[in-house]
Chain A
Amino acid sequence: MTDILRVQGLRKAFGGVVVANGIDFSLSAGDMHCLIGPNGAGKSSFFRLLLGEHAPDAGTITFDGNDITNLRSFQRIRRGISVKFQVPGIFKALSVRQNLEVAFQDHLNGQSLGTKIHEMLDFTDLHAEETTPAGNLSHGQQQWLEIAMAVGVEPKLLLLDEPTAGMSPDETRKTGDMLHDLNARGITILAVEHDMAFVEQIARRVTVLHFGSIFVEGTIAEIIDHPGVQEIYLGTADV
């Protein structure tokens, strides 16, 4: 399989804090991959580097066969990446519908835009809140809206930073099912996740990040059995 994403020697430090310490990582097209690691491991920072919010000190990022290291964020997105951030970045003063419109109108219009919005309102169960300002939604609903805005564009690569944070087990499962659907339609997914049940539900392969470096990569079974991973989470790993 071809790699949709290839990261080589990615490095970034903020003063003394090294958030990415020479990351080599690749993701084959069609994969569904989880990135795990303790708090502060650099998972969100890795996403920000992929998205061009931080300029790396060294290294290259190749997406879909093209070097995107020097592209601006919006240009990377336009090539087929979409993202759900850890902290919902919805437009609070705008209605739920407008949020979805802004997210999708660049890809769809007219009839198909309406259909997609309807589909996403179904999916998020927000039909009754269609005209409600997004800022008035509960935290969970905001999270759903943020996910809908990311998945509705059907990108080539979907980045999800803690998609199930604060969700009930039922909701978490529903999210997992939806991701399987998207993946079956050919969308590559990379998700940061803490909930191991969810990781088991979706991930074919798992990468463990620790102190800005890749600690180990493997199948979920290999990761769970790996002696070092437990220690990392317990904070006793020797690095």
Chain B
Amino acid sequence: MISSETTPRSLLARLEGPQTMGRGPVFWTAAAIAIAVAAAYPLMADAWTVGNAAYFLIWTFMAMGLGVVWGYAGALSFGQTAFFGLAGYAYGVITLNLGAAYGLTLVALILAVAIGGLFALVIGYFMFYGRIQGVFVGIVTLSVTLVLETFMAQTAGPQWRIGEARLNGFNGMSGMPPLTLPWFGDDIALYPGPSLYYLLLGLVVICYLGLRIMLNSSFGNVLVAIRENPHRVGMLGYDVRLYQTLAFAIGGAFAALSGALYTAWGQYITPSSMGLTSAALPIIWVAVGGRRDITATLIGTIVVLAGFQSLTIYGSQYALVVMGALLLVTVLAAPQGLVVGAMTFLGRIFRKDKS
């Protein structure tokens, strides 16, 4: 299924390919500059602003995961927040029981991602092996996240506890420790601020590059072919359901990573993280940036989130209306996504310069 040629060189070669925009020295120089600027950012801003920027980075994992499931594999999931919320709660429950010593919060992070990813694998299995397709994937996934929200909202009673952790119903859980790195004698707790920001920036870069390699591999080839014509892919000897399920699980694990990091960031998680509004937002980020390209998804998500944040100063309802309008404009004017449009435009200019 995955090509047997996996030398480090062949992996690096897959950083570029037909499934991802951007190649050659110009692109990678721009990428290096972007990372350098992002790395220098904490030197220029105060800790509170940097903690806020870390918050934007947290969501990019869920967005990139949705990009894989929707943009590449062609299945619009409306319920990535189910895996986000489940992992968020899992991180809370595990850390409240285990504590923050000995790097156990990192174990909790990994476990939470595994739980979210496994849950997505199970949901994906029942959907795709049950021949659910098209809009029905959206309906099923939305139902899953709303059921989870409803369920968590009724866990206010004292009987809803897992070990030390009270689930707390509609008000949500709080008081879990942030990510904590074990350090000789004195552990480093990553509260929102520069060190958390750097950890997240590193994770974003690793995940982004890893996804580029995956999407340009033979696995990625099959995913986009499924998006174009699943029937033909089956007639080439591929088990389409298996590929769809795996893509869905990967997307779910990325949403789970966002969820666990979110809980660790704010030491707080509520059922509304799995609600309708929360479920709709990732779709807007991904669509506006461009769902069929992982770079566009990443850039678009950060830009839209930053824009949303500045708008909420004027009121969150107002910001939501603007988001809806933005989605509408994108769908009508640039269905491939605004960032994809801009990148295609830039690509043309650079190619003209060369010739």
Whether A110 lies near B228 (C-beta < 8 A) is no
A-contacting 9-mer, from B191-199, B229-237, B327-335: B229-237
Whether A109 lies near B5 (C-beta < 8 A) is yes
| Shortest distance between the CB of B291 and any CB in chain A (Å) | 13
Residues of B within 8 A of A (CB): 1, 3-5, 18, 218, 221-222, 224-225, 227-229, 231-240
Q: Interface code A92-131, partner B: CB below 8 Å = 1, 0 otherwise?
A: 1111011001110110011000000000000000000001
Q: Which residue of A is nearest B228, CB measured?
A: A91
| Shortest distance between the CB of B219 and any CB in chain A (Å) | 10
Residues of B within 8 A of A82 (CB): 236-237
The CA of A222 and the CA of B84, in the complex, are separated in Å by 69
Whether A89 lies near B4 (C-beta < 8 A) is no
| Shortest distance between the CB of B221 and any CB in chain A (Å) | 5
Query: Is A157 in contact with chain B by the CB < 8 A criterion?
Result: no
Whether B237 lies near A106 (C-beta < 8 A) is yes
Whether B225 lies near A94 (C-beta < 8 A) is yes
The CA of A46 and the CA of B5, in the complex, are separated in Å by 39
List 8 A–B pairs whose Cβ atoms lie within 8 Å, in order of A's numbering: A72-B239, A73-B234, A74-B238, A74-B239, A89-B229, A97-B18, A101-B218, A105-B3
Residues of B within 8 A of A98 (CB): 18, 221, 224-225
Whether A94 lies near B228 (C-beta < 8 A) is yes
Whether B236 lies near A77 (C-beta < 8 A) is yes
Q: Which residue of B is nearest A79, CB measured?
A: B237
The CA of A94 and the CA of B4, in the complex, are separated in Å by 23
Given contacts A101-B221, A105-B3, A106-B1, 5 further A-B contacts (CB under 8 A): A92-B229, A93-B227, A93-B228, A102-B222, A110-B3
Residues of B within 8 A of A105 (CB): 3, 218, 221
Residues of B within 8 A of A36 (CB): none
Residues of B within 8 A of A95 (CB): 18
The CA of A101 and the CA of B17, in the complex, are separated in Å by 13
Whether A92 lies near B228 (C-beta < 8 A) is yes
Query: Assuming A92-B228, A94-B228, is B235 touching A102 (CB within 8 A)?
Result: no
Residues of A within 8 A of B229 (CB): 89-92
Residues of B within 8 A of A77 (CB): 234-237
Query: Assuming A105-B3, A110-B5, is B231 touching A94 (CB within 8 A)?
Result: no
